[in-house]
Amino acid sequence: MQTNECVAVVTGGASGLGEATVRQVVADGGKAAILDLDESRGQALAEELGEAALFFKTDVTDEASVQAALDGTVEKFGKLNLAVNCAGVAVAMKVVGKKGPMPIEKFHMVVKVNLIGTMNVVRLAAEKMLRNEPGTDGEKGVVVNTASVAAFDGQIGQTAYAASKAAVAGMTLPLARELADHGIRVMTVAPGLFETPMLAAVPERAREALGKMMPFPKRLGRSEEYAILVKHIFENPMLNGETIRLDAALRMAAK
């Protein structure tokens, strides 16, 4: 499939990796639905991109919210053949800190958004893709999930985040195997340190130091570089059932 034939839904699509993906799809002649909780940013992006974009205020953990967004996308654009999961949260907290054990609600929240939210979108998007007319090789759609290098190199204080992202990476192959019979591919991208809103709160001096940790190039990743990889995954039918690290060869230290 080519991106000018793409109709995508992108969670977390109002900023960061998701926004860059939405912009890439539209720039290539495709259409994109922005699924995000940030109504002001989402609406502004959709208005900027014009008729090729839609915004739906969406809670990825809520079935009805996601279903409404997917229904609206298909109603407007006629089909859905790419789902990109970028919505995510992080909590930096030790399991046992100076104030005692981590509140288990924090762990629940991170897993609920990053893992259960991802699966919620995957299952509902795949059901829509099943209805597509098969293209070359019988392909009907592509799912791209977002893990993190923390799934493999989780640092102290990242237990909840690393666990949720490791689970996203872990479900990639079984999802790909199951959906293969329906012509749907499933891939995961595991970004390293990227210039996203999640890192925006870090002081500039600290961000520069993080960039110097990267083997090459010695800088933080750019959201556009994530979007370029999503484009290639969509267009390359042999990419299936794998997690790709997008990290400039970074291997994070324990802390």
**253 belongs to a structural domain:** no
Question: Which residues are CB-contacts of 62 (< 8 A; sequence separation ≥ 6)?
Answer: 120
- Report the pLDDT value the prediction gives residue 207, as an integer from 0 to 100: 66
Specify the long-range contacts of residues 128-136, CB closer than 8 Å, at least 24 apart. Answer: 128/70, 128/74, 128/79, 128/80, 129/80, 129/81, 129/83, 129/182, 129/184, 130/182, 130/184, 131/79, 132/79, 132/80, 132/81, 134/183, 135/1, 136/1, 136/237
**70 belongs to a structural domain:** yes
Tell me how far apart the alpha carbons of residues 101 and 107 are, in angstroms, rounded to a whole number: 11
How does pLDDT run across 104-156, given as a tens digit for each residue?
999 999 999 999 999 999 999 999 999 999 998 999 999 999 999 999 998 89
**191 belongs to a structural domain:** yes
Arithmetic mean of pLDDT over the chain: 94
How does pLDDT run across 22-60, given as a tens digit for each residue?
999 999 999 999 999 999 999 999 999 999 999 999 999
| Residue 238 reports pLDDT greater than 90 | yes
* Sheet strand arrangement including 243-246: 53-57, 31-36, 7-11, 82-85, 141-146, 184-191, 243-246
Q: Categorize the per-residue pLDDT at 197 as very low, low, confident or very high, splitting at 50, 70 and 90.
A: confident
CB 186 within 8 A of CB 179: yes
Tell me how far apart the alpha carbons of residues 8 and 22 are, in angstroms, rounded to a whole number: 8
Catalytic residues: 161
E strand or H helix at 21: helix 16-27
**74 belongs to a structural domain:** yes
Tell me how far apart the alpha carbons of residues 126 and 222 are, in angstroms, rounded to a whole number: 29
**252 belongs to a structural domain:** no
**Which CATH number goes with the domain that contains 23?**
3.40.50.720
| Residue 206 reports pLDDT greater than 80 | no
**36 belongs to a structural domain:** yes
- Residue 214, classified by CB atoms within 10 Å of its CB into exposed (0-12), middle (13-18) or buried (19+), is middle
Tell me how far apart the alpha carbons of residues 251 and 97 are, in angstroms, rounded to a whole number: 25
**13 belongs to a structural domain:** yes
Q: Could you say which DSSP state residue 51 is in? A: G
- Report the pLDDT value the prediction gives residue 199, as an integer from 0 to 100: 73
CB 35 within 8 A of CB 9: yes
Tell me how far apart the alpha carbons of residues 3 and 175 are, in angstroms, rounded to a whole number: 23
Sign of the CA dihedral with 70 first, then 72, 75, and 80 last: negative
- Report the pLDDT value the prediction gives residue 253, as an integer from 0 to 100: 83
Question: For the chain, how many structural domains are there in total?
Answer: 1
Model pTM score? 0.94
Range of the domain at 204: 3-246
Look at 218 and 226; give whichever has higher pLDDT: 226
Cis amide linkage into residue 191, ω under 30° from 0: no
Q: Which two tokens stand for residue 86?
A: 């970028």
How does pLDDT run across 55-99, given as a tens digit for each residue?
999 999 999 999 999 999 999 999 999 999 999 999 888 999 999
- Using left for φ > 0, alpha for ψ between -120 and 50, and beta otherwise, residue 12 falls in left
**236 belongs to a structural domain:** yes
